[in-house]
Amino acid sequence: MIDLVVRHFALPLRHPFTISRGTVDVQDTVIVQLHQDGLFGYGEATTNPYYGATVESLTRRIAAVAPRLHAASADDLDGLLDTAAALLGADTFAHCAVDLAIHDLWGKRRGGPLHRLWGLDPAAGPLSNYTIGIDTPERMAAKLAEVPDWPVYKIKLGTDRDLEIVRELRRHTAKPFRVDANCGWTPRQAIELSGPLAELGVEFIEQPLAADDPGMAEVYRRSALPVFADESCGVEADVDRCAGRFHGINIKLVKCGGLAAARRMIARARELGLAVMCGCMTESSVGISALAQLVPLLDHVDMDGAALLAADIAHGVVVEAGRRRYPDHAGTGVELLGGPLAA
Ligand code: MG
């Protein structure tokens, strides 16, 4: 018998965070708690206007799943994942929150961290980047100076000062950069910027064009830098379409519906010869700790979401200076700071 509780939290950010589409200073998020026999599993989905996920839509859809889980056991991982996919598959954010909680509770009942239950080496995999949101070049340099010990920086672009921003940041560090235009460029801009960005020590470009821009195949052929899909690669069916248009994909748990879908996407991307990155939203340690279980499978990871918060709501995997430290807990390793949620 599994009990489900869904609860909204407002996550305050350290700094207002700006990308090419807008600015956020408090991030709303929805936490799912599953409970069976004294063990608690947690999942998360942040709200997102671009993807149409609101507190109300997430809460309503997740709460509607509760009666179907009530008769189940957390030991039946495949059965639970199938139920969640059937009921929530069309809303990947809600699906993600429930999928993460199912995996966490299953791992806690099995008594091991998910990465170990999957046979992965926790020491393997890349270090995380730290993301610098859009601001004036001077203020972006000041943000970078606050976090000098991260091994690689992801710079949000899509402004009319993009090269100026990267040149200014390059004056302050010799570490590698990656850039994310969040759909903000035309094909011509992407191709023309790629050479100077390569010379400035940028290693790849994330989502240069709008998600369905037909110019992507030409950018893929002519860019001086590898290009990674984010908004162009949401769900499993998108992975095949990225071959021949991108060198790699950026998987996010909320875009694809959670850990089960993400693992299938990683496997398919490998078959297609695509590089694999996973990214996060500005989210709490609930979501980040789930993402951290996948890192041994990845080429690159952006998992600074909880590090961007002024206050977290959970203990779990800690990400500092790009390194992740797994807690000595089973599942995703998450415990809410305030203790389990009351039904
Ligand atoms: Mg992105």
Per the CB < 8 A criterion, the answer to whether 181 and 20 are in contact is: yes
Kindly give the distance from the C-alpha atom of residue 106 to the centroid of ligand 1, in angstroms, as a whole number: 30
Q: What is the pLDDT of residue 16?
A: 86
Distance of CA 38 to the CA centre of its chain: 29
Kindly give the distance from the C-alpha atom of residue 310 to the centroid of ligand 1, in angstroms, as a whole number: 22
Bridge partners, 177 (sequence order): 153, 202
Q: How many CB atoms lie within 10 A of CB 153?
A: 24
Bridge partners, 36 (sequence order): 39
Query: Which region, left, alpha or beta, applies to residue 141 given φ > 0 means left and ψ of -120 to 50 means alpha?
Result: alpha
Q: Are residues 43 and 157 in the same domain?
A: no
Per the CB < 8 A criterion, the answer to whether 13 and 308 are in contact is: yes
Q: Are residues 91 and 121 in the same domain?
A: no
Whether residue 343 lies inside any domain: the answer is no
Q: Which residues surround ligand 1, an ion (CB under 5 A)?
A: 180, 206, 230
Q: Are residues 226 and 163 in the same domain?
A: yes
Kindly give the distance from the C-alpha atom of residue 283 to the centroid of ligand 1, in angstroms, as a whole number: 14
Kindly give the distance from the C-alpha atom of residue 206 to the centroid of ligand 1, in angstroms, as a whole number: 6
Bridge partners, 338 (sequence order): none
Spatial separation of the C-alpha atoms in residues 26 and 211, rounded to whole Å: 26
Q: Are residues 150 and 298 in the same domain?
A: yes
Kindly give the distance from the C-alpha atom of residue 302 to the centroid of ligand 1, in angstroms, as a whole number: 9
Kindly give the distance from the C-alpha atom of residue 23 to the centroid of ligand 1, in angstroms, as a whole number: 15
Kindly give the distance from the C-alpha atom of residue 318 to the centroid of ligand 1, in angstroms, as a whole number: 22
- For 159, 162, 165, 196, 309, the CA distances from 224, given in Å and listed in that order, are 20, 16, 19, 9, 34
Kindly give the distance from the C-alpha atom of residue 180 to the centroid of ligand 1, in angstroms, as a whole number: 6
Out of 112, 131, 146, pick the residue that ends a domain: 112
Kindly give the distance from the C-alpha atom of residue 182 to the centroid of ligand 1, in angstroms, as a whole number: 6
Residue 288's nearest CA partner among 321, 254, 260, 240 is 254
Q: What is the pLDDT of residue 160?
A: 95
Kindly give the distance from the C-alpha atom of residue 279 to the centroid of ligand 1, in angstroms, as a whole number: 7
Q: How many domains does the chain have?
A: 2
Q: Are residues 80 and 150 in the same domain?
A: no
Domain of 75: which CATH number? 3.30.390.10
Spatial separation of the C-alpha atoms in residues 199 and 32, rounded to whole Å: 45
DSSP codes joined into one string, 100-134: HHHHHHHHHHHTSBHHHHTT--TT-SPPBPEEE-S
Kindly give the distance from the C-alpha atom of residue 207 to the centroid of ligand 1, in angstroms, as a whole number: 6
Q: Are residues 178 and 238 in the same domain?
A: yes
Q: Are residues 158 and 278 in the same domain?
A: yes
Kindly give the distance from the C-alpha atom of residue 150 to the centroid of ligand 1, in angstroms, as a whole number: 19
Spatial separation of the C-alpha atoms in residues 67 and 222, rounded to whole Å: 53
**Residue span of the structural domain in which 130 resides:** 117-336
Q: What is the pLDDT of residue 22?
A: 83
Residue 229's nearest CA partner among 212, 252, 209, 206 is 206
Q: Are residues 169 and 318 in the same domain?
A: yes
- Pairing between strand 177-180 and 153-156? parallel
Per the CB < 8 A criterion, the answer to whether 109 and 74 are in contact is: yes
pLDDT in tens, the chain (343 residues): 999 999 999 999 988 888 878 888 999 999 999 999 999 999 999 999 888 999 999 999 999 999 999 989 999 999 999 999 999 999 999 999 999 999 999 999 999 999 999 999 999 999 999 999 999 999 999 999 999 999 999 999 999 999 999 999 999 999 999 999 999 999 999 999 999 999 999 999 999 999 999 999 999 999 999 999 999 999 999 999 999 999 999 999 999 999 999 999 999 999 999 999 999 999 999 999 999 999 999 999 999 999 999 999 999 999 999 999 999 999 999 999 999 999 8
Kindly give the distance from the C-alpha atom of residue 296 to the centroid of ligand 1, in angstroms, as a whole number: 20
Out of 89, 112, 135, pick the residue that ends a domain: 112
Q: What is the pLDDT of residue 19?
A: 80
Whether residue 341 lies inside any domain: the answer is no
Q: Are residues 250 and 123 in the same domain?
A: yes
Kindly give the distance from the C-alpha atom of residue 276 to the centroid of ligand 1, in angstroms, as a whole number: 13
Spatial separation of the C-alpha atoms in residues 306 and 288, rounded to whole Å: 7
Q: Are residues 149 and 296 in the same domain?
A: yes
Kindly give the distance from the C-alpha atom of residue 146 to the centroid of ligand 1, in angstroms, as a whole number: 22
Kindly give the distance from the C-alpha atom of residue 59 to the centroid of ligand 1, in angstroms, as a whole number: 25
Kindly give the distance from the C-alpha atom of residue 230 to the centroid of ligand 1, in angstroms, as a whole number: 5
Whether residue 303 lies inside any domain: the answer is yes
What pTM was computed for the model?
A: 0.96
Residue 293's nearest CA partner among 108, 130, 33 is 108
Kindly give the distance from the C-alpha atom of residue 329 to the centroid of ligand 1, in angstroms, as a whole number: 30
Q: Are residues 259 and 309 in the same domain?
A: yes
Whether residue 53 lies inside any domain: the answer is yes
Kindly give the distance from the C-alpha atom of residue 60 to the centroid of ligand 1, in angstroms, as a whole number: 27
Whether residue 144 lies inside any domain: the answer is yes
Q: Are residues 38 and 135 in the same domain?
A: no
Spatial separation of the C-alpha atoms in residues 24 and 145, rounded to whole Å: 21
Kindly give the distance from the C-alpha atom of residue 268 to the centroid of ligand 1, in angstroms, as a whole number: 20
Whether residue 76 lies inside any domain: the answer is yes
